[in-house]
A = this chain, B = another copy of it.
Amino acid sequence: MTITIKDVAQKANVSIATVSLALHDNVRISPGTKKKVMKVVDELNYRPSRIARGLVLQQTQNIGFLLTNDHFLHTEPFYTHIFLGSEFEARDHNFYVLLNTIPNKFNECDHLPRFVLEKNVDGVIIAGKVPLEIVTCLEADKIPVVFVDFYPPSGEYSAVLIDNVQGGEKATEHLIAYGHRNIGFIGGDMVHPSIRDRFQGYQIALEKFKIPFNMKQVVTRESTTNRKSGYHAAEILLKKNKDLTALFACNDAMALGAMQYIKETGKKIPEDISVIGFDDVVEDLSSDPPLSSIRVPKVEMGIESVRLLMDYLSSKRPKKVLIPVELISRNSVLNINGKY
């Protein structure tokens, strides 16, 4: 029913080889025949079957996109935006992106995503932290891999990483520029490298402006990085440090939790305490006041990850890209210069 290269060949009165070569702009085909073929292609609205193509070319033109279930469901819209970015860029390279979430725990290579088992992808993008076993399994199968927002502790891979240190600096420097000198840091699970890097950025910024670093102004013992732990951390911090004028939370969820605690104690944001977050996932109008944050260009990260994969596919050389971040100034930070 669906029209194939045969139909085109027949109607154009040439062999199917000629059609194929014409479509690939081969020099062997004269301009005249090329035009003739193209006309028929247009008339019949012919498109090569990607499946047949894939079979003979031994390539799938598919990219696997891997993240854990939790990351897909609960860290909206962070990873979904990265995914979408990868879709955009993949389209330009005529690739499809096959999403596959994996369980948070991973035991055996048997449970690798289908597209890996069935050799249905030319490469895989891994977004966020995943069980290391899966990396080992992919390694064994020699599947090209690009990591996004995560880098395994050992090995040499292509990766798209957020410049978290720079982000931590920018956030802290923004507070400093607005006159703040007693700045609390709300960190979560310090095992996660992003959090560590943001913390490092915080320290670098303090040092740069000769502000003494005080371990009392830092909470790094929360085991999670959600709203609840932000609330809890703010409580600890503000009870212990009466002189804090600003808080830097290492993600927006924690910042929201901190804001909630601050409000519940009857204090005003930003008049009494300024708050800045990280990730910029809180939509513009959905916190009160709108939360200043560090924007991470998620779609761009997805785009970049596909580029790195394409690059690796041809060069076989891993490459790392650091994605710069941007300060988004809204109304949760008060300029207190000259006030105290």
Residues of chain A having any CB pair with chain B under 8 Å = 2, 47-52, 54-55, 60, 72-73, 76-77, 80-81, 83-84, 87, 91, 94, 96-101, 114-115, 117-120, 227-228, 256-257, 260, 263, 283, 285-286, 288
Enumerate chain B residues within 8 angstroms of A55, measured Cβ to Cβ: 49, 51-52, 55
| Residue in A50, A81, A91, A263 with the greatest tally of chain B CB atoms within 10 Å | A50
Q: Which of B77, B96, B288 contacts A115 (CB 8 A)?
A: B96
**Nearest CB in chain B to that of A49: its residue:** B119
B84:A72 contact, CB within 8 angstroms: yes
A101:B80 contact, CB within 8 angstroms: no
Q: When chains A and B are docked, how far (Å) is the Cα of A119 from the Cα of B55?
A: 15
**Nearest CB in chain B to that of A264: its residue:** B288
A87:B73 contact, CB within 8 angstroms: no
Enumerate chain B residues within 8 angstroms of A52, measured Cβ to Cβ: 55
The 5 closest A-B pairs by CB, nearest first: A76-B77, A51-B54, A50-B118, A80-B80, A227-B285
Q: Which of B81, B91, B94, B118 contacts A73 (CB 8 A)?
A: B81
* Given contact pairs A55-B52, A77-B77, A119 touches B47 in the complex (Cβ within 8 A): yes
Chain B nearest Cβ from A125, distance in angstroms: 14
13 A-B contact pairs sorted by A residue (CB < 8 Å): A49-B119, A72-B80, A76-B80, A83-B99, A87-B99, A91-B114, A98-B98, A227-B283, A227-B285, A257-B285, A260-B288, A263-B288, A286-B286
**Nearest CB in chain B to that of A110: its residue:** B45
Q: When chains A and B are docked, how far (Å) is the Cα of A118 from the Cα of B48?
A: 7
Q: Contacts A48-B118, A98-B98 known; list 6 others, CB within 8 Å.
A: A47-B117, A51-B60, A73-B81, A73-B84, A91-B100, A96-B98
**Nearest CB in chain B to that of A76: its residue:** B77
Chain B nearest Cβ from A101, distance in angstroms: 7
Q: When chains A and B are docked, how far (Å) is the Cα of A2 from the Cα of B97?
A: 22
